[in-house]
Amino acid sequence: MKKNVLMSIAVLSATAVICVALIAVVNHFWHITDEERFARAVKDIMQTNSFEIQYDNEVAEYNADIGGNDNYGIRTVRLAKGGRDDGCYLFQSRGRGYNGGFVELLIGYTADGELIGFIKTSLSDANTYQHLIKDSDWDAASDSVKGKTYKDEFESGRAGGNALQAATGASVTLGGASEAIKISNEFFKKYISDDVVEPPKGEIEVNATKIAQLNILFSVENSGYQGVTIKQGGYVKYPITSDRESGARVEAVYTAEAVDGEKYFIAEVWATTSGYGNWRLLVLLDDNNLIAAVNRTGNPPYEVYEEDDEHYDASNLDSTLNMTALYKGKALSAIAGIDEYDEYLQGTTHPTESIDGLKLCITHVLKNAMSLREKLAEFIGEEA
Amino acid sequence: MDKMDKKMLKRTALGGILDNPVFVLVLGMCPLIAVSTSFMDALLMGVSTAIVLLLSNVAISALRKITPSAVRLPIYLMVVATLVTILQMFLDKYIPDFYASAGRFIALIAVNCIILARAEAFAGKNDVLSSLVDAASMGLGFIVAIAILGGVRQLLGDVLGISIFTAPAGGFIALGLLMALFNAALFFAKGYAARREARKTRREARRSAKTVKEEAL
């Protein structure tokens, strides 16, 4: 009995050792290096395998600006050397997918910034939706950006297209792909192209609609901010803070000056709640207080209630949010004020869930108020 | 090799038809349905499985005398898993496109019923030559079956546009139809062979009766 047990253990152990040794030997000969994998991936969009990594410092700076991390940002920018694609650029970028995952793409650009296409190199395993996308769907997504330039995609921010997203059921994943392309386009525009990115200082670089929206904010009756005009400041194009987990980010910051010379800044905040659309708020901060007004863009949450007469009163919600100064005079620390307004709004419109988006915007601004202030201080300091 | 051994070897060599792993034994359905959406993928999957089957049968047969009965299954699994890992490395290195599309099913070969069934039922009990013949026959039977299934699904699904055949449900339908066809053909072939054998027996009986009669006269 004992002999049998020992024999079994010995044979098992010997078999395991031989198997592992065999695999190790084979792995030595057939191991695929990272360079080989990279070359395999690249060959679908570029003909050359010779690249030189460039813009290291700029990549670090850009990633810091956008709040990049392991799941979000540009990994490398390579310049193609020799062959048909000499002078083209290859970006390795990551966009955020679902549930803390990421989508990594290799994106090819001509020297002039025309998109050659993209391929996915890896997907994190954080969510199963990412794997709903078949290779042919990725090809279709890649085809959809061919011939466009970094400028086009910067405006549209869409890699695939709604039809593709609906077909695959993986909108978040393609959203991640879109994000990877979008930041690559931004980087190209900022560091590689000859385009001037920063608007001239001392002038607000906003269009008439935006000025009108900002003026609504200042003209609200009894808001205490009448007479504030947008006189100086800048327009920050890139997200200053980003908080994907809560579904909110500050997308732009404006400065403003009152007739008495007091300076303010206004943050344009975007937030989304699952299933209830997007909110885009303009939030004004002065020394210790804030007011806010709604800027109706994107996908207003009240569309959810459009077909539900019992719970929807568009005119009520619309006028309420646009013409009322929210949180007038509230201290930044008085977050509890949100609940007060929450009750009031629900009493009139009942869109309980959609209010979550509004709250998210406000709390996000409150959370990031200090860093926003610092940014603005830098801005105003530079101008001075 | 005596007459009995030759007969046994012949029967083993015909195992891929008479005991076809797909159409008769209905083994290894998961990769069969998953990868048989096109002829080429199905063929490569069949060849991959057959190679693992061949090597594992030989290895297990060679090790059978030193393999303790109590731990034979873990040892079979280790051997098969090692072979599959090596196969994966090979495919990833030299046929990356196929590996990218069928990689997860390649790994599943390690627990494919065909491999383990042949190891347990045959290779673990017979000599290396017989195991090699058995694996070659079964492997060939699997390749032919999965390639036909892949071809039929590609023809009906991609060429004729009956899209259900590219989905797993269509795979089962196509498999069912092919299985019925194969078993019907096998039934008639066996019947024909039995009738032929009976005729031969009767002829021999008549001949021996005639001989007896002539001797009596």
Nearest CA in chain A to B89: A30
Alpha helices in chain A (DSSP H): 2-30, 34-42, 56-65, 135-145, 150-156, 162-168, 171-187, 208-219, 314-323, 337-349, 352-367, 369-383
Percent of chain B with pLDDT over 90: 33
The answer as to whether B189 is a domain residue is no
The answer as to whether B156 is a domain residue is yes
Rounded mean pLDDT, A119-132:
70
Query: In this structure, what DSSP letter does residue A132 have?
Result: G
Instruction: Output the CA torsion A186→A189→A191→A196 (10° steps).
Output: -120
Of the two residues A2 and A252, the one the predictor is more confident about is A2
- Interchain contact, B90 vs A30, CB within 8 Å: yes
The answer as to whether B84 is a domain residue is yes
Residue A71 is predicted with a pLDDT of: 85
Residue A335 is predicted with a pLDDT of: 34
Token pair in block for residue A205: 């670089």
- Interchain contact, A135 vs B101, CB within 8 Å: yes
- Interchain contact, A22 vs B67, CB within 8 Å: no
* Contacts with A, B 84-103, CB within 8 Å: 85-86, 89-90, 92-93, 96, 100-101
Does residue A22 belong to the interface with chain B, where contact is any CB pair within 8 Å? yes
Tell me the C-alpha distance between B85 and B123, whole Å.
21
ipTM score of the complex? 0.78
Range of the domain at B41: 6-183
Domain total of chain B: 1
Q: Which of A6, A9, A11, A31 would best serve as a mutation to test chain B binding (most B beta carbons within 10 A)?
A: A11
Of the two residues A309 and A341, the one the predictor is more confident about is A341
Angle ∠(B79,B83,B85) on CA atoms, nearest 5? 115
For the entire predicted model, the pTM comes to: 0.57
CB atoms within 10 A of CB A294: 23
Residue A78 is predicted with a pLDDT of: 92
- Interchain contact, A22 vs B82, CB within 8 Å: yes
Residues in a beta bridge with A74: A93
Of the two residues A25 and A335, the one the predictor is more confident about is A25
- For residue A316, pLDDT over 80 is answered with no
- What is the three-class DSSP state of A247? coil
Nearest CA in chain A to B70: A8
The answer as to whether B195 is a domain residue is no
Nearest CA in chain A to B95: A40
- Interchain contact, A15 vs B78, CB within 8 Å: yes
The answer as to whether B43 is a domain residue is yes
The answer as to whether B191 is a domain residue is no
Nearest CA in chain B to A135: B101
CB atoms within 10 A of CB A224: 14
Residues in a beta bridge with A177: none
Tell me the C-alpha distance between B178 and B156, whole Å.
13
The answer as to whether B12 is a domain residue is yes
Token pair in block for residue A246: 């809560």
Partner residue opposite A23 with nearest CB, options B66, B86, B100: B86
Token pair in block for residue A148: 């466009």
The answer as to whether B153 is a domain residue is yes
* Contacts with B, A 38-67, CB within 8 Å: 40
Nearest CA in chain A to B80: A19
Tell me the C-alpha distance between B122 and A57, whole Å.
64
Residue B82 is predicted with a pLDDT of: 95
Of the two residues A158 and B159, the one the predictor is more confident about is B159
Token pair in block for residue A227: 């007479």
Tell me the C-alpha distance between A105 and A176, whole Å.
10
Q: Which of A18, A19, A29 would best serve as a mutation to test chain B binding (most B beta carbons within 10 A)?
A: A19
Tell me the C-alpha distance between A357 and A351, whole Å.
11
- The string of pLDDT tens digits covering residues A45-55 is 888 878 888 89
Residue A239 is predicted with a pLDDT of: 42
Does residue A201 belong to the interface with chain B, where contact is any CB pair within 8 Å? no
- The string of pLDDT tens digits covering residues A209-267 is 444 555 544 444 434 444 444 443 444 433 444 444 455 566 666 666 655 566 666 66
Does residue B78 belong to the interface with chain A, where contact is any CB pair within 8 Å? yes
**Gap from B108 CA to chain A (nearest CA, Å):** 18
Stretch among A93-102, A153-162, B121-130, B139-148 having the lowest mean pLDDT: A153-162
3-state helix, strand, coil in chain A (%, to 5): 45, 25, 30
Tell me the C-alpha distance between A120 and A207, whole Å.
37
- The string of pLDDT tens digits covering residues B132-156 is 998 999 999 999 999 999 999 999 9
Of A278, A128, A169, A173, the residue nearest A159 (C-alpha): A173
- SS3 for chain B is CCHHHHHHHHHHHCHHHHCCCCCCCCCCHHHHHHHCCCHHHHHHHHHHHHHHHHHHHHHHHHHCCCCCHHHHHHHHHHHHHHHHHHHHHHHHHHCHHHHHHHHHHHHHHHHCHHHHHHHHHHHCCCCHHHHHHHHHHHHHHHHHHHHHHHHHHHHHHHHCCCHHHHCHHHHHHHHHHHHHHHHHHHHHHHHHHHHHHHHHHHHHHHHHHHHHHHHHC
- Residues of chain A with Cβ-Cβ distance to B74 below 8 Å are 12
Of B105, B121, B144, the residue nearest B56 (C-alpha): B121
- Residues of chain B with Cβ-Cβ distance to A22 below 8 Å are 82, 86
Rounded mean pLDDT, B188-208:
89
Tell me the C-alpha distance between A24 and A31, whole Å.
10
Residue B51 is predicted with a pLDDT of: 94
